[in-house]
Amino acid sequence: MKSDAYRGDERMLSSVDDSISLSASLPSVFSQDQSKSPAQLDHMKSPGPVSTPSPPPVARKLCVRHQRMADEGTSLDLQQSLDALSVKEREAVSTIWSMFSASSHPRRALILKGVLTMCCFSQLSWLTEQLQHLIRLDPFHVLPREISLQILRNLDAISLGRAAQVSTHWRSLADDDLLWKNICEQHIDKKCYKCGWGLPLLERRRMTRPHTPIPPPSVSVSLTPLPTKRSIEEGSTSNINAPASKRPRLGTPLSPDSASTISDTHSTPCPVLAITRPWKDVYCERLSIERNWRKGRCTVRTLQGHTDGVMCMQLCETLEHPSFPVLITGSYDRTVRVWNVETGETITCMTGHSRAVRALQFDKVKLITGSMDRTLRVWNWRSGACIRTLEGHSDGVVCLNFDEDLLASGSADTTVKVWNFRNGECFTLRGHRDWVNSVVLWNRPEYMPTSEYPSSSPDLQKTSGKLLFSASDDGTIRLWDLARRTCIRQFLGHVGQIQSICIVTLDADAPETELLAPSPVQETDEKKNTLVRVPYGDPLSTSTVVYEIHGNLQAEGSGSTCWRENSKLDLSQINGKDRPRASSPGRKKGPIPVLVSGSLDNTIKVWDIESGKAMKTLFGHIEGVWAIACDKLRLVSGSHDRTIKVWVREEGQCMATLVGHRGAVTCLALSDDKVMSGSDDGDVKIWNFSPI
């Protein structure tokens, strides 16, 4: 077996040995030819019997090491150094090389050991420098490009950026567009739970630009918005998140036109070349914005026009017309203003309410406002005309929310009214004991089979269709079945008036969703104590919580928390971050909605809709929370303490605090790179996190 291995090694080295032997033999043959006399040379040139030429030798496939030697011209450099020696020295060196080449592997090792023993430190140092270069192997020069890209797919963005700095060849691989497209799909508009980062969508950013020649004077040019980078690569299937403010905005976004057109009145239209940016540039742009979010770096602009406190607002950045982002605000000065966010100018100022405007929502067609004058008004916000006035509440309208079919309004008369756009029907929901401050319409996802959840109430299991959340000054949140017009659940936990609620959808693999699943309590023998082991905390951690069903509860493992029970342990009572995470086979994979609420008890709570229990409580404001807004990446809250806080919802930590208002922050609007805030001081501030 050893002899076979030696033969294999000899075959690997045969190519370079042949080249060295050939190089070494060339000077000796040349010197022998020079030593012959002219007569002998003439005799060698004399004609003789013609012999058949031998076939050329078959080219051998070189190994990686010898192929690199051939590419780098090592043999040529060696031959030039050999030519610089005398003939006698050449013959001596050639003899040594030939003997080494003809030796077996063990003999070569023995020769090398002997040579090393005869080397001094200077020669050993030179040998070390040479070996560092010879034994270094670049795998991406050896492997096919496809395999190299498959390896690089496993790296994160930071590692890819470092790989691009190694060499020109590595840069060409690390900057591959498909690699960065995969990273963008993993991070943009979602939270990557491997690295903990998510990047904003920035739907309005134009990723293409027209490239056309300058048209002649007789040519009229009309351009429509070009498709975004994501719509070109993936199709226009992505939705922009609605910034869930105190008055939730519309659900269905508008997509830009799919192409740019150039019309020529006298000739054929000029072609339009859509130029897309590399996905690496797309990622870097969004990464810079996300870093600004995390560090609280932003530019602030103030929109002035209201003469009293601003109580409600909504932002929309996806309208086809006008092309700029639109912000609409309502105030205690009884006016509603439409703003151009880019220029900060007031487009329209609508008047008609006789008291403060407390709620509003708009889409591309209409604007609906609610006022303390007990009415709701429907407006054409583009022209400023009032279309209709709705009456029915016996006290001021504090909140509203509508979709394509229904309008829900909450009032200081403690009731919620639901108006049907299609048949004109209106009915009233009664149950709250104080002002209704926030309402949100909600369609239950079809992939949420409530019958599989032990914690779900029977009433919630029977619901199918549209539901409504309402929050009140009585400290409760109620969930209503609009088909049966009954309350099917109450969310209890706040000790102060609840001012704002919103719904956010989590990915199925989000860390928060592990708190949603029922804990897998195993069946126990009633006659003896039984221990149930449940993994605790980080899935990579080895800590384990040990529950004793009929005795005092004990815990083992580092970082574990102990709960002591004298009766049978009910894991469903363990809430918050200390509750053990567990997966449930009953919960199907899919986006999972959760409810977020802000209260004047200075806290923000995240609720599991199915169980009605608080998953997490966020502490940080020193006074009551008036408004919240959230999306898939972050949660923003405005408080009576005049500050705005940006939260990492999964960790319950505040990442940035924005200070600048002179009064309580009463309303918020959230987009991918901005926060809009309204205050009792009458100012509207725009906190822009995009790089300047």
- For residues 322 and 220, the model is more confident at 322
Give the pLDDT band of residue 650 (cuts 50, 70, 90).
confident
Q: What is the mean pLDDT of residues 380-388?
A: 94
Angle of helix 2-35 relative to helix 64-72, nearest 10 degrees, comes to 30
The distance in angstroms from the start CA to the end CA of the chain is 70
The C-alpha atoms of residue 689 and residue 674 are separated, in whole angstroms, by 6
- Share above pLDDT 70 across residues of the chain, in percent, rounded to a whole number: 64
pTM above 0.85, yes or no: no
Reply yes or no on whether the pLDDT at 360 is more than 90: yes
Instruction: Kindly report, residue by residue over 485-530, the tens digit of the pLDDT.
Output: 999 999 999 999 999 999 998 776 665 555 554 433 333 333 333 3
The number of CA neighbours under 13 Å toward the Cβ of 87 is 8
Instruction: Identify the pLDDT of residue 334.
Output: 96
Strands (E), 287-422: 299-303, 310-316, 326-331, 335-340, 345-351, 357-362, 367-371, 375-380, 385-391, 397-402, 406-411, 415-420
The bridge status of strand 498-506 relative to strand 273-276 is unpaired
Question: Which letter does DSSP use for residue 103 in this model?
Answer: S
Average pLDDT for the chain: 74
The C-alpha atoms of residue 13 and residue 258 are separated, in whole angstroms, by 61
Instruction: Identify the pLDDT of residue 344.
Output: 93
Length of the chain: 692
Q: And the tokens for 441?
A: 């319409």
Give the pLDDT band of residue 25 (cuts 50, 70, 90).
very low
Instruction: Kindly report, residue by residue over 69-112, the tens digit of the pLDDT.
Output: 666 666 777 888 888 888 888 888 888 888 888 899 999 899 99
Q: How many CB atoms lie within 10 A of CB 619?
A: 10
The C-alpha atoms of residue 314 and residue 121 are separated, in whole angstroms, by 77
Question: What is the C-alpha R_g of the chain?
Answer: 38
41-50, 123-132, 163-172, 564-573: least confident range: 564-573
Instruction: Identify the pLDDT of residue 428.
Output: 96
The C-alpha atoms of residue 479 and residue 595 are separated, in whole angstroms, by 11
The C-alpha atoms of residue 154 and residue 163 are separated, in whole angstroms, by 12
Instruction: Identify the pLDDT of residue 71.
Output: 65
Q: How many CB atoms lie within 10 A of CB 628?
A: 28
The C-alpha atoms of residue 254 and residue 319 are separated, in whole angstroms, by 6
- Bond into 535 cis (ω within 30): no
Question: Which letter does DSSP use for residue 199 in this model?
Answer: B
Q: Which residues contact 64 (CB under 8 A, 6 or more apart)?
A: 137, 142
- For residues 573 and 650, the model is more confident at 650
Q: And the tokens for 429?
A: 């929901």
Q: Reduce the secondary structure of 28-94 to three states and give it as a string.
A: HHHHHHHHCCHHHHHHHHCCCCCCCCCCCCCCCCCCHHHHHHHHHCHHHHHHHHHHCCCHHHHHHHH
Helix, strand, or coil here: 574? coil
Q: How far is CA 50 from the centre of its chain?
A: 78
Instruction: Identify the pLDDT of residue 53.
Output: 59
The C-alpha atoms of residue 641 and residue 396 are separated, in whole angstroms, by 26
Helix, strand, or coil here: 14? helix
Mark out the alpha helices in 119-165 (DSSP H runs): 121-134, 139-142, 145-152, 157-163
Helix, strand, or coil here: 139? helix
